[in-house]
Amino acid sequence: MVYASASSYAAANWTFVTSETENALHFPYTAPSAVPAEVTIQFGITGPYLTLLSGANAGIEALWQATTLLTTAQCDRVLVLGVETFQECAELYTTGRWLLGTPLLEAAACLVLERHPGLAAVRYRAAWGTRGLASLVAGEREGALASVYLCTPTAPAGQVAGHYLQAQWPDISLVLLHERLGFCLACAPLIALMLAITAGQLEDVLFISQWWDAWAMVHWPGAPSRAGYSSQ
């Protein structure tokens, strides 16, 4: 199991800080493990387990870690789970409104990935700084590419990055996830993959996310024809 989130533990941490009583579940180092722990217990999931809490980029990194587990034969099937919560600590997110766009979308998404030869074609890259996005796409201009799904924490960031990507690939289908979903951070790349599958795209797809000055990208092979999957 690979678990990704930017916020699902925030409500528990906020309760730990502000509550007059103690609860082990709300301890800051315990809270991030509560959701995946309950899921693994409920469904009897065993084997390798990873938690990624690297902001909005955690979803991209979860997809990469899942494919790595599969292509290195460490397991036959991976549940990739993303969960985001905001409502229970709305005041906390209001203080950081310049970092996150609205509406903030509470979400839970999961993908079940299985071993498949097509997953060997998955590529992951990360970059930092003002030229991070340019660094990511520098080696992606050749070959058949169906779409780019862009996941950013604010609308202005998405617009700037979107203009740059369209300048690089004038004919590409560009999807700004926040325009369709609102802002759901680490869940966004998982939902984007589901959207690509639903669209029946036969060519490769790029999923790109941003968190502060960190960029992450997964180049995914044409899902309907080359990789086994199921989603929820």
Domains observed in the chain: 2-118 (3.40.47.10), 121-226 (3.40.47.10)
Locus of tokens 């315990």: 30
From CA 117, how far away is CA 226, in angstroms rounded? 8
Here the tokens at position 105 are 């979308």
Angle at 73 between CA 121 and CA 195, to 5 degrees: 45
227 confidence band (pLDDT: 50, 70, 90): very low
Q: For residue 181, which of 63, 55, 99, 84 has the smallest C-alpha distance?
A: 84
Does residue 92 register a pLDDT over 90? Answer: no
- pLDDT tens, residue by residue, 38-79: 899 999 998 888 999 888 899 999 999 999 999 999 999 999
Q: Is the peptide bond before 103 cis (omega within 30 degrees of 0)?
A: yes
From CA 15, how far away is CA 28, in angstroms rounded? 10
Q: For residue 175, which of 141, 156, 203, 152 has the smallest C-alpha distance?
A: 152
Are 86 and 182 within 8 A, CB to CB?
Answer: no
Q: For residue 214, which of 1, 6, 3 has the smallest C-alpha distance?
A: 6
- pLDDT tens, residue by residue, 165-207: 999 888 889 999 999 999 989 999 999 999 988 887 667 899 9
Instruction: Measure the N-to-C terminal CA separation of the chain; round to a whole number of Å.
Output: 15
